[in-house]
Chains A and B, each alone.
Chain A
Amino acid sequence: MVKNSLIFIVLIGFAVLLADLFVGFNGNTDLNTLANHYAVSGPEEVGSANLVTAVVVTYRGLDTLGEVTILFLAAAIVSFLLKVEAGASLNRKLRSTSEILDTASRILVPVIFLFGIYVFINGHLSPGGGFQGGAIIASGLVLMLLAQPAKEVGHKLITLVESISGISFVLIGVAGVLFAAGFLDNKLLSLGKFGTIFSAGVIPIIYIFVGLKVGAELSGIITNLHENQNEA
């Protein structure tokens, strides 16, 4: 009884804290100064049609680097905890997948991978970007593993892609310090014509690396959990 009332008090406390948000909140009618600066001078300074991409990759690039690092740590701890001994053989009976799922996955998986790559290459022009593209690639991997549970996904490949794209991300940032205005500055390459695929300086290149890194990390988590299923 005491416990229930304590929980109730905690909930009321949170409600009071959050009520501050919407009591008197009547919706914005204008952008604040910071957002206005990003919106007005973003297209000129960064050259990216998608302003969210401009904020994620250039204005707040350091945060993005930190966040892919957190994701890397999470993936690394998951794979450390779920380690399967090398050579541990498949000792459960797998139900064979149906013909339809098998055939459809063979056709769909390359298309899904291609769509993921499209999403992160066009991150500066249309909705999407490295994080979404990486998630789509990992979803394609899930479909592949559901259709062919016995398939082995190369851990070496995942590790290689992950580390190469991570190192390249940091190196591009350092090159920005040496040859342009600062860490992760996107004027390393010319800004190009606004609204075309070769524009916005290094944003497409950085987003390709972010996409590969996020895709590899999420795929790593999925493969580790999947292989753990097969172990006794």
Chain B
Amino acid sequence: MENLNLEIITLITGVILVLIGIWGLLTQKNLIKIVIGFTLFDTGIHIIMVSIGYVKNRTAPIIDQSVNINDVGNSVVDPVPQALVLTAIVIGLGVTALMLTYVLKMYQKRKSLEINNYNDLKW
């Protein structure tokens, strides 16, 4: 119990979320369900990255009254993963919108959301 700390819990949550996302991607037959699986995968990866940047008992990387300006290196968490995840979330929305647009176009062509009906490249 003694080495059970915040970042380990969130890390394990993130890893299981990634696995659930992959499971959804692989087993679901509905195109929209596949996109949902992809967004879960995305969220899991983001949680893993932020957990890895966490440092015990430190505050957010914003210098205000609670942080001594001469001792910043010992009082804040790692800002780099946070910066990466910040932009990755926005890109994730763009990619999700793009995938859903393709789903819409595919439905207009074939009138079906079942992935098994799209077998033109199957041989």
Contacts and interface: CB of A to CB of B under 8 A. Distances in A.
Interface of A: 7, 10-11, 14-15, 18-19, 21-22, 25-32, 34-36, 38-40, 42-43, 49-52, 54-56, 60, 63-64, 67, 70-71, 74-75, 77-78, 81-82, 126-127, 129, 131, 134-135, 195, 214, 217-218, 221, 225, 228
Given A22-B12, A40-B72, A77-B101, A35 B87 contact: no
B64 interface: yes
Interface of B: 3, 5-8, 11-12, 15, 18-19, 22-23, 26-27, 48, 52-56, 60-64, 69, 72-73, 76-80, 82-83, 86-87, 89-91, 93-95, 97-98, 101-102, 104-105
Contacts of B18: 14, 18
Given A21-B15, A36-B73, A56 B101 contact: no
B98 A74 contact: yes
Interface of A is mostly: helix
A70 B86 contact: no
A105 B72 CA distance: 43
B80 A38 contact: yes
Given A49-B63, A78-B101, A81-B105, A71 B79 contact: no
Given A22-B15, A81-B101, A35 B79 contact: yes
B90 A127 contact: no
A34 B83 CA distance: 14
B61 A27 contact: no
Nearest to A224: B101
A26 B11 CA distance: 11
A131 B92 CA distance: 12
Contacts of A225: 97, 101
A131 B94 CA distance: 12
Nearest to B76: A39
A124 to B, nearest CB: 10
Nearest to B73: A40
Given A21-B48, A39-B72, A221-B97, 11 more contacts: A11-B22, A15-B15, A21-B52, A28-B7, A35-B79, A38-B80, A50-B62, A55-B82, A60-B83, A126-B62, A225-B101
B34 to A, nearest CB: 13
B11 A218 contact: no
Given A28-B54, A81-B105, A39 B90 contact: no
Nearest to A79: B101
Contacts of B15: 15, 18-19, 21-22
A129 B56 CA distance: 26
B5 A27 contact: yes
